[in-house]
Structure 1
């Protein structure tokens, strides 16, 4: 397989995978392009390579910056902004876990804290308390696991993963 075909297939696959981590396809494709780039890329280079509009590129680059998956870099003597990403899979996984926790798990834990303290009597109220309290306990356990993963180092994680997959 030629490099250009492999590159295209990789970027497309990474774009499809993006929806699994809660990002849109174009954002993931830009991330894939940055991961394989040997030099920082400008918005224009990203637009040209992926054949996307300036607005689409700018919006998705901003989203990558917001997620902490890309950084701006300056080249001496250049006015353009350039972008890079970390290429370490553990750093990527940790950052995605942090963002998904912040955007998805933290809000539901806060909601469950509020609603599980519902006042009242009766069968429905008791069932509501039981279900929401159980969900809150599960969500807090998931939060603890994610926090352990985020705070871990790659050696610890890969040792555990190796034991699981054997």
Structure 2
């Protein structure tokens, strides 16, 4: 397999994975393209490489910047904007984890905390089942949150070393 074909396969695969993880397919493909690019790319270069519209490219690039996965660069004397992805996969993993935590886990924990305060008769089977389910899910969500917090603060070698120790 030649490099051009391999790059295209990686971009397509990253796009499919992204959509399975709840991220827009184009967003994942642009991210993959920028990951593989040794130089920052312009919007036009991204549009041409992925055969996408300007509107789609602009909106997706804004989303990627919002997630903290890419940065915009300006070059002296040029009006074009250039985009560059962080190539450090540990930084990428932490950034995605932080964003998913903020967008998904934090709101769930907030609702579960509220639902944990519902009062009722413990002898009522419906209330008892509701209360136990909410409590157990809340406990799990908070444990996931603690794990993410550890990951976000940790250095890569320490984190993986501590995870692997748990499975020995």
TM-score after normalising by structure 1: 0.93
Offset at 1:20?
4.0
Segment of structure 1 superposing worse, 17-26 or 76-85: 17-26
Structure 1 runs, 4 residues or longer, greater than 4 Å off:
161-166
Would you say the 8 A contact 1:11–1:29 is kept in 2?
A: yes
Offset at 1:131?
1.3
Offset at 1:60?
0.9
Offset at 1:22?
2.6
Query: Which residue number in structure 2 is paired with residue 126 of structure 1?
Result: 128
Determine helix, strand or coil for the equivalent of 2:58.
Answer: helix
Offset at 1:29?
0.5
Alignment of 1:81-92 (within 5 A): 81-92=81-92
Query: Which residue number in structure 2 is paired with residue 96 of structure 1?
Result: 96
Residue 52 of structure 2 corresponds to residue 58 of structure 1: no
Query: Which residue number in structure 2 is paired with residue 154 of structure 1?
Result: 156
Query: Which residue number in structure 2 is paired with residue 139 of structure 1?
Result: 141
Q: Aligned-residue CA RMSD in angstroms?
A: 1.7
1:108-158: CA deviation from partner (whole Å, max 9, x where unpaired): 100000011112323322221121111111111110011101111112123
- For structure 2, which runs of at least 5 residues remain unmatched after alignment? none
Determine helix, strand or coil for the equivalent of 1:76.
Answer: coil
The count of aligned residue pairs is 166
1:53-74: CA deviation from partner (whole Å, max 9, x where unpaired): 1111111111101111111111
- Structure 1 residues 77 and 165: alpha-carbon distance in aligned structure 2, compared to 1, 3 A threshold: farther
1:68 and 1:139 map into 2 onto residues whose CA distance is: 24
Would you say the 8 A contact 1:116–1:128 is kept in 2?
A: no
